[in-house]
Amino acid sequence: MRLRTLLLALVLSLMQAGKASAADRLGRYPVDPAQVSVAGISSGAFMANQLHIAHSADIMGAGLVAGGLYGCAVLRADDSGITALASLATGACMRAPARLLPAATYAARIRRFAALGWIDPVETLGRSRLYAFTGRSDTVVHPETVRRAVAVYGLLGLPTAATSFSDGALAAGHGWVTQSYGMACGDTRPPYINDCDYDQAQQVLQTLYGPLEAAATQPSGRLIAFDQTEFAPGGDAAGHGLWHTGQLYLPAACEAAGANCRLHMLMHGCQQSAQVMGDRFYRNIGINEWADTNRIVVLYPQARSVSVADFRRPRPTDLFQVNPEGCWNWWGYAYDSRYLFKDGVQVRALWEMVQRVTGRANR
């Protein structure tokens, strides 16, 4: 009888270990709410751009690597909402730049969304900082898309002096670029981290925060896994493209309650989430080394793939709502027609994470 009880306890504990809620609740850390920035690669760049533009009053700047053009996948926009298409995301936004709209059209849409109160007023964007990067050998997201994103910022009032744009200066393929880790510089293949003798982590953080202390050779902080399901509507992370667990890098200098640290949120690209490559992305892109010596807490939220099986009630339209490669939502998958705005599922989830870490109340 005792053996049976023990076996039952063992089975229950193993089941518990495999559940999404195994990670801790995201905590509050000593971060200055005025020093919050975002960045991302590929679909993460599109999401960083969306988050920045939606919350520009509270996010000081953005880093866009090989992606990012707000509303690029939108077919129609009016005062009732937007219609976005996956085929626009993969077509005009990635490989057919001739089909992109003029920068002024995207800028006008952003102004309209702001006037409707769906995103922050655009005036605050003029006080931001922007880092953008596109590699000369990028065959996944055409450089013109990144150029158009930079142009939109300019039209919305961001001064050239506040922008650092590496436009084809390196023969980099599609990926995050490092000093000495990853595939050959011109490659476009997993893990989409390329060794180009270029420290992109430094360039992003320096553009956003100004001069930095030298990076740590070996990070002395710690990575903390946190539960993401609480940030999904109804706790349904899978059905909204969110992985159950996110990561936070906490430098040793930010452990003390009175420390005055900064917060940087960094988003992976498609096929780079923890679901696909475990800790490979957030341990090897070089950000933690710079964060360590510059009092920067880093949030690494994680997306996940969405298949038709993840929708609770089967519908004939499900096939158009999937996200097979675990990208961030920049074309309205998972039935989220508000994905560009403050009340979009992922934008809201990411912003709530920021608010939790900074301890700042909702706006």
Secondary structure E strands in the chain: 31-41, 61-65, 74-78, 81-84, 129-134, 163-167, 176-178, 183-184, 193-195, 222-227, 245-250, 261-267, 296-300
Asked whether position 316 contacts other proteins by CB under 8 A, the answer is yes
Q: For tokens 């301890």, what's the residue?
A: 359
Asked whether position 337 contacts other proteins by CB under 8 A, the answer is no
Residue 244: active-site member: no
Closest CB 138 distance from other proteins, rounded Å: 14
Closest CB 172 distance from other proteins, rounded Å: 21
How far apart CA 266 and CA 245 sit, in angstroms, is: 15
Asked whether position 90 contacts other proteins by CB under 8 A, the answer is yes
- The stretch near other proteins (CB under 8 A) out of 95-103, 113-121, 147-155, 219-227 is 95-103
Closest CB 189 distance from other proteins, rounded Å: 21
Asked whether position 210 contacts other proteins by CB under 8 A, the answer is no
Q: The tokens of 327 are what?
A: 């990208």
Nearer to other proteins, 14 or 319 (CB): 319
Closest CB 204 distance from other proteins, rounded Å: 30
- The stretch near other proteins (CB under 8 A) out of 29-37, 88-96, 194-202, 243-251 is 88-96
Amino acid at 90: T
Q: The tokens of 209 are what?
A: 């925060």
Residue 142: active-site member: no
Buried residues in 139-166 as b, exposed as e (16+ CB within 10 A): ebbbbbbbbbbbbbbbbbebeeebbbbb
Site for other proteins in 269-308 (CB under 8 A): none
Beta partners for 37? 61, 264
Asked whether position 95 contacts other proteins by CB under 8 A, the answer is yes
Q: Work out which of 9, 10, 19, 87 binds other proteins, going by CB under 8 A.
A: 87
Q: The tokens of 309 are what?
A: 């099986």
Q: Work out which of 34, 96, 171, 214 binds other proteins, going by CB under 8 A.
A: 96
How far apart CA 339 and CA 343 sit, in angstroms, is: 7
Residue 325: exposure state from Cβ atoms within 10 A (0-12, 13-18, ≥19): middle
Nearer to other proteins, 57 or 75 (CB): 75
Nearer to other proteins, 169 or 308 (CB): 308
Site for other proteins in 18-77 (CB under 8 A): 75
Q: Work out which of 14, 319, 361, 362 binds other proteins, going by CB under 8 A.
A: 319
Q: The tokens of 282 are what?
A: 């957030």
203 near 187, Cβ under 8 Å?
no
236: helix, coil or strand?
Answer: coil
Q: In 3D, which of 151, 132, 134, 158 has the Cα closest to residue 63?
A: 132
The torsion angles phi and psi of 190, rounded to 5 degrees, stand at -55, 145
Nearer to other proteins, 243 or 311 (CB): 311
Size of the site for other proteins (CB under 8 A): 17
Q: Work out which of 187, 320, 325, 338 binds other proteins, going by CB under 8 A.
A: 320
Nearer to other proteins, 176 or 311 (CB): 311
Q: Work out which of 20, 23, 85, 225 binds other proteins, going by CB under 8 A.
A: 85
Nearer to other proteins, 59 or 92 (CB): 92
Catalytically annotated residue among 120, 138, 292, 336: 138
Buried residues in 84-122 as b, exposed as e (16+ CB within 10 A): bbeebbebbbbeebeebeebeebbebbeebbeeebbbeb
How far apart CA 231 and CA 228 sit, in angstroms, is: 6
Catalytically annotated residue among 52, 55, 142, 174: 174
Q: Work out which of 33, 81, 91, 168 binds other proteins, going by CB under 8 A.
A: 91
Residue 21: active-site member: no
Q: List contacts with other proteins (CB under 8 A).
A: 75, 85-88, 90-92, 95-96, 98-99, 315-317, 319-320
